[in-house]
Amino acid sequence: MGVLPARPGASTTAAATAAATRRLDVLRVLAVLTVVLGLNYVVWRWLESVNWNAWWIAVPLVVAETYSLVEVSLFAMTMWRARERPEPPPPPDGATVDVLITTYDEPIDLVLRTAVAARDITYPHRTWVLDDGARPTLRDAAHEAGVGYVVRTEDWRGRPRHAKAGNLNNALFLTEGEFLLILDADQIPEPTILDRTLGYFRDPEVALVQTPQHFTNVTQADPLGSQAPLFYGPIQQGKDGWNAAFFCGSNAVLRRESLMQLGIVGYVRETERSVRQALSTARRMLGRARRRAANPTQAAALDQVMSAADVALSRLRVGEAVGAVTFDFQRAVDDASASVVARDVATIQDDLRAIGALAMERDDELGAVVVNDDALSRLAERDWSPLGAVESVRALVRAVDVDRVDEAQPLMPVATVSVTEDMATAMRLHAQGWRTVYHHEVLALGLAPEDLSSMVAQRLRWAQGTLQVMLKENPLRVPGLSLGQRLMYFSTMWSYLSGFAAVVYLLCPVLFLCLGVLPVTAWSVDFFARFVAFQAASQVLFLVAARGVRTWRGQQYSLALFPVWIRATLTAAANVWRGRPLTFKVTPKVRGEGAGAWRVVWPQLAVIVMLVTASVVGAVRAALGYTDWADTSVNLMWVVYDLLVLSVIVQALRYRGYPAGREGAS
């Protein structure tokens, strides 16, 4: 079983420091070389080798290659500051800690194993099971095990629940430790996890310490690509060097103060946004109402409220406190309403007096009291009171409400903007000036998905959440982030757009082998000299960065899951831009039946069939002289590479889990 060393990078000897410095120097040389060779290749492709006669596939190919260059360049930048931290300092004296175990519908025995292990952590703390499923059986088992049990308060009934983020936000107001260790239901912690991480919080600017996620129910072959050793290692260490290591949802310790500050700042910003939106909407409504004002009294009142809305918007733009702005606006509306009501009362009294003064007489034929014709004319010509205008003004006052009654609680410290609450929360912490730490030591052991369907659902949720964040809070525009932090977050988000590039890479050889369409002017020596140099440099960069860790499985899935990445992009965009909901499904911690798993990867299976068919067609066409054997050979090699990458899907379909996994997790 491949596990990370117990304390990698812990040695503080001069030799270890010198070795780390040499590795970083080599990485930087390779990073520069890779980017230079990549630029040389892609610029040449745009200027010299695009086959404009087949622009409809030639341009998408060179765009895909440009996308890949940006992705490799962002990886090179990540590695530029790869950080190997020394031995952590000892924990601060007297720190109070709450261990929060999030669960929804995981098996109770699994949750209890994690809870008991968390209870037995050596550093003094309190352990809580946060049961979003509100299961009485789990409640009783938790109490019997001597751990706390938390469910949602009544405030959440009938309001958005925000999945795991809402579960954590609910618990934040029911616990009180200075620090929070957050664990998923399957992540069994080591007894020393707090001893090894709390010391970083001696720095008052540190808000988060993230440790790796490692899974015990994964074979050496790792057919589902669960371990992610490149991410939980070189990539997180690289982000750590830029102060951009982010929260991964579990196996992390957070400072409560930083989260509560985040909640307050988020509340103020959300309130400002809501007030600004309400004022802008009110301004447009008032403008339309003003044009239809029935009398000068209504017009004057509406003008007064419109002016107050303009002043309020101007004050918000220059950063004045939203509370003061809202109070002054509401007071202006009250004044306008009072003047209208006072005028209306006087008008109504005049109306009543006028009605009382009307000449009335009894009509014996009708058997009723009637008003004479002159009195009716005078009555029809009167302007009646604008009570409708008053009610509209009062509705505007109600629209400017800062209580956030649509939410269960005003403060939401853990970000609810995305189904991946962890990345969004970390980015907001960084934007507020907090620091984070990546501690490269396995301190909790978890369970990975054991079937293909569960793995695909998990990856889809990760991708959707990450792209939600990019579309809602693009790190390139978030105030407070450094340039390095912006690029580190953007690089993770950018990687999930690879599905579109993958389609082009898979389609190009098929088009040539079947139809003879060539997206480049020629497979010349000039082409291969540039292409091979760039590809070789980028692969060496990955190998050196990984330091012996297997990364091939991750590279396979980055291409093989292209339908998942495309679906995630489209559904996340529909959610953000059109309000279409995303379905949230907790990753199963037990193996499914596996039957019908092919349905979730049928596009990849179809592509495999297409590539094999295209190879046969291409060979026949070359044998008959329709295409050149040199061009055909290049495309056949391209197909072989694609099939080698996609073969992981076939392995995943045949995978039936790791029988010894559960014993290893206990």
So what's the pLDDT on residue 464? 95
Q: What are phi and psi of 126, to 5 degrees?
A: -120, 140
Average pLDDT over residues 203-228: 93
In this structure, which long-range contacts are made by residues 85-90, counting pairs with CB atoms below 8 Å and at least 24 apart in sequence?
Answer: 85/9, 85/240, 85/437, 85/438, 85/439, 85/440, 86/9, 86/10, 86/11, 86/12, 87/7, 87/10, 87/11, 87/12, 88/196, 88/197, 88/199, 88/200, 88/439, 89/199, 89/200, 89/202, 90/195, 90/199
So what's the pLDDT on residue 326? 78
At residue 130's C-alpha, the angle toward residues 129 and 134, to 5°, is 105
Give helix 421-431 / helix 483-495 axis angle, nearest 10°.
170
Q: Residue 386: pLDDT above 50?
A: no
Q: Which amino acid is residue 131, in one-letter code?
A: D
Q: 214 in the Ramachandran plot: left (φ > 0), alpha (ψ -120 to 50) or beta?
A: beta
Residue closest to 235 by CA, chosen among 25, 83, 38:
83
Residue closest to 453 by CA, chosen among 196, 655, 242:
655
In the chain, where are the structural domains located?
19-80+491-665, 273-399
Q: Residue 390: pLDDT above 80?
A: no
Given pLDDT bands bounded at 50, 70 and 90, which one contains residue 192?
Answer: very high
Q: What is the full DSSP assignment across 398-422?
A: HHS--S-TTSSSS---S--SSS-HH
Average pLDDT over residues 575-586: 81
Residue closest to 414 by CA, chosen among 402, 403, 424:
424
Does this model's pTM top 0.95? My answer is no
Half-sphere exposure of 480 (CA within 13 A, CB side): 14
Distance in angstroms (rounded) separating the CA atoms of residues 503 and 355: 80
Look over the chain and give the mean of its residue pLDDT values, rounded to a whole number. Answer: 86
So what's the pLDDT on residue 350? 61
Q: Which amino acid is residue 429, in one-letter code?
A: L
Average pLDDT over residues 578-605: 75
Residue closest to 35 by CA, chosen among 546, 544, 497, 541:
541
So what's the pLDDT on residue 407? 84
Burial of 109 (0-12, 13-18, 19+ CB in 10 A): exposed
Burial of 115 (0-12, 13-18, 19+ CB in 10 A): buried
Residue closest to 320 by CA, chosen among 308, 307, 330, 311:
311
Distance in angstroms (rounded) separating the CA atoms of residues 553 and 229: 10
Higher local confidence (pLDDT), 596 or 250: 250
Given pLDDT bands bounded at 50, 70 and 90, which one contains residue 603?
Answer: very high
Residue closest to 458 by CA, chosen among 212, 226, 235:
226
Q: What are phi and psi of 208, to 5 degrees?
A: -150, 140
435 DSSP β-pair partners: 206
Distance in angstroms (rounded) separating the CA atoms of residues 332 and 594: 65
Distance in angstroms (rounded) separating the CA atoms of residues 276 and 271: 8
Distance in angstroms (rounded) separating the CA atoms of residues 7 and 88: 10
So what's the pLDDT on residue 285? 66
Q: Which amino acid is residue 657, in one-letter code?
A: G
So what's the pLDDT on residue 294? 63
- The separation between the first and the last C-alpha atoms of the chain, rounded to the nearest angstrom, is 15
Average pLDDT over residues 225-232: 91
So what's the pLDDT on residue 401? 52
So what's the pLDDT on residue 389? 43
Q: Residue 484: pLDDT above 70?
A: yes
Q: 446 in the Ramachandran plot: left (φ > 0), alpha (ψ -120 to 50) or beta?
A: beta
So what's the pLDDT on residue 357? 58
Distance in angstroms (rounded) separating the CA atoms of residues 102 and 586: 11
So what's the pLDDT on residue 274? 73
So what's the pLDDT on residue 645? 95
Q: Residue 10: pLDDT above 50?
A: no
Percent of the chain with pLDDT over 70: 83
Average pLDDT over residues 624-644: 94
So what's the pLDDT on residue 335? 78
At residue 216's C-alpha, the angle toward residues 215 and 219, to 5°, is 100
- Dump pLDDT digits (tens) for 427-467: 999 999 999 999 999 999 999 998 899 899 999 999 999 99
Given pLDDT bands bounded at 50, 70 and 90, which one contains residue 592?
Answer: low
Most confident of 240-244, 270-274, 627-631: 240-244
Q: What are phi and psi of 349, to 5 degrees?
A: -65, -40
Average pLDDT over residues 414-423: 89
- Dump pLDDT digits (tens) for 511-526: 999 999 999 998 888 9
Q: Residue 6: pLDDT above 80?
A: no
- Dump pLDDT digits (tens) for 319-377: 888 778 877 877 887 777 676 666 555 655 565 565 555 555 555 444 444 445 554 44
Distance in angstroms (rounded) separating the CA atoms of residues 609 and 623: 21
Half-sphere exposure of 527 (CA within 13 A, CB side): 14
Q: Residue 387: pLDDT above 60?
A: no
The CA–CA distances, whole Å, from 484 to 74, 79, 209, 349, 431 equal 10, 12, 19, 70, 12
So what's the pLDDT on residue 268? 79
So what's the pLDDT on residue 368? 46
So what's the pLDDT on residue 550? 83
Half-sphere exposure of 650 (CA within 13 A, CB side): 10
Q: Residue 542 is encoded by which pair of tokens?
A: 């990955």
Higher local confidence (pLDDT), 2 or 93: 93
- Dump pLDDT digits (tens) for 144-189: 999 999 999 999 999 999 999 999 999 999 999 999 999 999 999 9
Q: Which amino acid is residue 614, in one-letter code?
A: A
DSSP state of 580: P
The answer to whether 74 touches 475, Cβ cutoff 8 Å, is no
Given pLDDT bands bounded at 50, 70 and 90, which one contains residue 277?
Answer: confident
Q: Residue 195 is encoded by which pair of tokens?
A: 């001893």
- Dump pLDDT digits (tens) for 92-145: 989 999 999 999 999 999 999 999 999 999 999 999 999 999 999 999 999 999
Given pLDDT bands bounded at 50, 70 and 90, which one contains residue 381?
Answer: very low
Give helix 163-172 / helix 421-431 axis angle, nearest 10°.
60
Distance in angstroms (rounded) separating the CA atoms of residues 401 and 403: 6
Q: What are phi and psi of 255, to 5 degrees?
A: -85, 125
